[in-house]
Amino acid sequence: MRLLLISNSTNPGEGYLDYPKNYIKDFLGEKAKNAIFIPYAAVTFSYEAYEEKVNARFAEIGHHVTSIHRFINPMEAIENADAIVVGGGNTWQLVKILQDKGLMKVIRKKVKKGMPYIGWSAGSNIACPTLRTTNDMPIVQPEKFKTLKLVPFQINPHYLDDNPANHGGETREARIQEFIEVNREVYVVGLREGTMLLLEGKELTLIGNRKARIFKYGQEPLELSNEDDFGFLL
């Protein structure tokens, strides 16, 4: 499999998809791909606007996406695609629509056979076995929590080390500790802003200048950099 799982689309003070664009270009290669974009995580803006926003950045790297909502037969669109790109937004809505349209199995099948997969935020979440480490509010109710299971571990995108000032709620680490308390066999990767995971075949690496925080029940959290081996997660 080939996966590029990005924590966030935009760093403070930068344009949309600016920091990961060259990694996306390297991942997709020089030749333009028939890339299908899945915009279903969008809630407060249209699929057309989302497609346009992504294409504005992809044009800079010689690539283009077509949103899946433009196809009469979305399953056929995925079957005929060269790559799949899944945007961020609300993970619950993304999962519900993919389930309602029966697209989870066809996406998983194609990616397992080698179709390149790019996702950021919610798009990274659904590459995991379930959506249960998302940060999003459950604004809709999907049929089930199971997602694509392209990787055997969970990702928490936008991982934060501290709570905002004057906020008395749980830290992100405390919430993940709750998750691993009741899901003791599962690793959770806290993927900080500005970083991404690249899977090429059986090699998993971290891209970016910040470390990832790895959680597992009964173990002290690990801080791993782009020079460390992430193969144990697979």
Q: What amino acid positions are annotated as catalytic residues?
A: 121, 136, 158
| Rounded Cα–Cα distance for residues 46 and 52 (Å) | 10
Asked if 36 and 17 touch (Cβ cutoff 8 Å), the reply is: no
Single-letter amino acid code for the residue at 185 = E
d(CA 61, CA 132): 33
Query: On the CB side of 61, how many CA atoms lie within 13 Å of its CA?
Result: 22
Answer yes or no: are the C-beta atoms of 97 and 39 closer than 8 Å: no
Q: What is the crossing angle of helices 91-100 and 104-112, to 10°?
A: 90
Alpha-carbon distance of 224 to 218, in angstroms, equals 18
The Cα–Cα gap between 110 and 83 comes to: 9
The torsion of the CA quartet 37, 39, 45, 50, rounded to 10 degrees, works out to -20
Give long-range contacts, CB 8 A cutoff, 24+ apart: 55-58.
56/16, 57/15, 57/16, 57/17, 57/18, 57/21, 58/17, 58/21, 58/24
Of the candidates 5, 218, 3, the residue with the CA atom closest to the CA atom of residue 120 = 5
